[in-house]
Structure 1
Amino acid sequence: MHQPLLIRSHAASSAIPRRLEAADVAWATALLLRATAAHPALRYVCDGTSEVRQQWLLKQLLLLVLRHGAAYTNAPGTALALWLGPAQATVRTTPWWLLPATIWHLGWAGHRRLGRLLSTIAWLRRHGVAGPHHLLLGVAVLPEAQGRGEGRRLLTSTLALRQTPLPCYFSTQVPAQLAFYQGMGFELAGHCPVGDGPDGPLSNWGLLRPPTVYPAL
């Protein structure tokens, strides 16, 4: 198992995050599970707090990112940032060959809820950004490390790695996250309902960060 180490520059704030590899899947999936267990979208798809379903779904997300994009961690291994680049931002999030496994692991109802969530996210993104763009799939921080700025620092560092001057798009189903991402330069690009979940109605917000030339770390 790889240790979640960083190559650091002279200033801690400009630390270069380590890019994850296949050997990181186990611990990174466990981090995602702990960090997002109460996420309303995850609970919506997985019918509440089914840890087995959540773990399977998060592992598929991580494998998708490792295959088509880039996942990064910080020095203590307490945070992850998941990205798809301009060439990969249109990749199918549920490839056809994964559909039988999705039904098997999530059940027919979970499979349909996942499809509804993904189609809603894709529809709003098509209306919120035109042309090539970077796609931020998420930033996850362990519960005990939240509130210390670790997610903000990791996001800042990975934004700096997006060298092409293109917009960055992000979808969230957590309204409390809007202020954080708006403070990071994202602007509200749209909103639409998804459906009713175990925690009540689920909504999706699209956020867009305008094109910027990011300085090299």
Structure 2
Amino acid sequence: MQDYTDSMQHYLGASCEVLKLDNNLLFAGSIHQYDAGEDELTVSIRNGNETPQGIIYHTPVKLHVQTNISMNKVLLLYGQVSRCAADFWKIALKHSFSCAERRSSFRQPVSVEAIVSRGSGMASSAVAPCQMIDVSLTGLCFSSQECYLEGEQIFVSSLQLRRDGPVHSFACTVQRVQPLESGALRYGCSFNDITERQEDLLFQDMFSLQVKAFNQQ
């Protein structure tokens, strides 16, 4: 994911939503100030409203920030609440992650098994196991002994990226095929019509994996 610290000044005045990690909206406002020294944002509430009170110090939150540079891009930030006032919050971004677009091509390495079958739905045929290599908000990569063709429609199911996490299923199109030294084939696939709900669950999993990796450094 891209580093946001050098470009945060471009987002001053941009509209944003502050949400819990489960995507429950806390409030909508705008980016009022960015303190590079503290790596902290000040988010102001819209006129006539008040921010939610009773939020515990250091509560993790995420922000959807609508950039003023391109209305087709969204900045995603994760951080912790450092101050709650009626008309603004301060959010520390020191341990956050960001991407320039909601549908980012950032790839999260994973090492889990899943099921892949031919076709584009639950009625798919020729079921076979596969080993996941990475996943992004636009697609995934896996290895398999089965042979699929570029452009072929497949269905990936039983994909659980973390313990106790949701089980994902995606209709995909094979975009790239690459032979591996092991004799298996590596497939790069794009999602077909992923829903907002699917994307949100996937992003939550990716963020949780990133936090775990960060804490282990």
Q: TM-score, normalised by structure 1?
A: 0.20
Higher relative contact order (CA 8 A, sep 6+): 1
Q: Which has the larger radius of gyration?
A: 2
Larger strand fraction of residues: 2
Q: TM-score, normalised by structure 2?
A: 0.20
